Structure 1
Amino acid sequence: MKKIVFLVAALVLSVTAMAQVQEAYPSYVQVEGYAEMEVDPDEFYLSIVINERDSKGKITVETQQRQMIEAFSQLGIDVEKQLKMSDMNSVFFKKNNTLTTASYELKLNTSKEVAAVYAALDGLGISDISIARVDNTEIERYKDQVRAEAMANAKKTAESLAGAVGQKIGKCFYIYDISGYRGVARYADSAMYMSANSEMKVAEPTLEFKKIRVEHTVQTKFVLE
């Protein structure tokens, strides 16, 4: 019962507040502003999984890890800073067979490094590799920029609408962030182009990544004068 009373009271206050705003600004224009930007990723996070099975001539996770780290060092990767172990576990099956799995996350800074790592791991027989995510070191600054552009676009639209009826806009008395946060970065799936069977021979393997889309939407109300 208390919850119902509280909700009713909140609703009444909300309606009252809206009525007061309507009374204070009887003539206004309501518009949405939208802006977007595409930026190149400069941080690439790879998920690497190494598996070991009990079988004749098995290669342990430790051996594969040592080979992997050596390969990374040869590529100029700072293993201590850029490679982290995510998980390691063992599952026991019948006949004392054991499956051991180790998961890692590797942070890289260029698509060229990503291509080189894929090639190196493929040479070691490690094929369980995927792009966990991509990012940009300046993404927060881009979010702020796009949010400001969305607001500027809302104002421009309001001015255009008001001008069409021979009026001007005054102050903005209402701003609602439709996105619910500072901006949204859509990390598109990576588009990768690497093929050992390709007829075209290139000096180095290459990878192509889609850009990161940053977008923002705001809802505004401006006084009509």
Structure 2
Amino acid sequence: MRKLFVFAFATLISISAMAQQVDLRKKITVSGTAEMEVTPDIIYLSISLKEYLKDGNSKKKVEITDLENQLYKAIQAAGIPKENLMINSLSSFNTAPEKKKNPDFLVSKQYRLKVTDLNKWNEIIGSVDPKGVAYTNVDSYDYSKIEALKKDLKIKALQAAKVKATYLVEALGEQLGGVIDIQEQGNENYPVYRASGMMMKSAMVDDNGGSAPEIDFKKIKLSYVMNTVFQIK
């Protein structure tokens, strides 16, 4: 029994010593960075059309169907598939009774349009009666190959870290060993594009009577840092 106790005590001391053992391997900690900017190629636009009275006369109303037809034709002319245009909301689902009670009742519709080139907006908005456009805005945007780009940048950042660790270690006459630890640090910067910018472009078409200049859409910036720890042989 005494021998068993001594053996158990010795085992406990051994385990405790192993747990407290310090990693004495020679190591180097470095970071690698890779970044890139891309222009969004998937953009969702919000468009609101609203009926209006010509010279305030209810008998000279520009109907929502006329404005809608202008929008449809402009989208087709711009080469955008019709399924890319969706109705977000309608000011009234039952407009007939309201129009009977109030001849000046004005219907409005909100649409969501998917485009792959923001500059096509100039072609579209220039073909729609500007008085019938209540507002426009950018809802959201994305890059179609964003996941592949993220993967590529992470790999490049990791490779950059290894290159840095290699020349630093070799400068001391040592050799780089295997990687011990890798930690990822990402920074994705999606641009903010305000509605006022879009409204300004549509106003320019109306005031000048010509096409607006190209819209300079801010780019998405992706930046990744890979923090690594390598062993020194």
Structure 2 partner of 1:86: 88
C-alpha separation in 1, matches of 2:30 and 2:157: 11
Judging changes above 3 Å, is the alpha-carbon distance between structure 1 residues 136 and 77 closer, same or farther for their aligned structure 2 residues?
same
Offset at 1:203?
6.2
Structure 2 partner of 1:113: 120
Structure 2 partner of 1:166: 173
Offset at 1:44?
2.4
Q: Which segments of 5 or more consecutive residues in structure 2 lack a partner in the other structure?
A: 1-15, 94-100
Counting only pairs closer than 5 Å after superposition, residues 50-89 of structure 1 correspond to structure 2 as: 50-51=49-50, 57=58, 59=62, 61-79=64-82, 81-89=83-91
Percent identity between the two aligned chains: 27
Corresponding letter in the other structure for 1:75: A
Say if 2:149 is the partner of 1:142: yes
Larger radius of gyration: 2
C-alpha separation in 1, matches of 2:229 and 2:126: 55
Judging changes above 3 Å, is the alpha-carbon distance between structure 1 residues 21 and 99 closer, same or farther for their aligned structure 2 residues?
farther
Structure 2 partner of 1:208: 216
RMSD (Å) for aligned C-alpha atoms: 3.8
C-alpha separation in 2, matches of 1:52 and 1:197: 17
Corresponding letter in the other structure for 1:126: V
- Would the aligned equivalents of 1:185 and 1:212 in 2 still touch at CA under 8 Å? yes
Deviations 1:35-83 (A, max 9, x none): 101123322221112346899635555553343223322333221x211
Offset at 1:122?
5.5
C-alpha separation in 2, matches of 1:176 and 1:99: 58
Judging changes above 3 Å, is the alpha-carbon distance between structure 1 residues 20 and 62 closer, same or farther for their aligned structure 2 residues?
farther
TM-score, normalised via structure 1 length: 0.68
Judging changes above 3 Å, is the alpha-carbon distance between structure 1 residues 136 and 196 closer, same or farther for their aligned structure 2 residues?
same
C-alpha separation in 2, matches of 1:208 and 1:151: 33
Say if 2:186 is the partner of 1:186: no
Counting only pairs closer than 5 Å after superposition, residues 113-132 of structure 1 correspond to structure 2 as: 113-121=120-128, 123=130, 125-132=132-139
Offset at 1:223?
0.7
Corresponding letter in the other structure for 2:124: V
1:177 match: secondary structure: strand
Say if 2:49 is the partner of 1:46: no
Q: Which segments of 5 or more consecutive residues in structure 1 lack a partner in the other structure?
A: 1-15
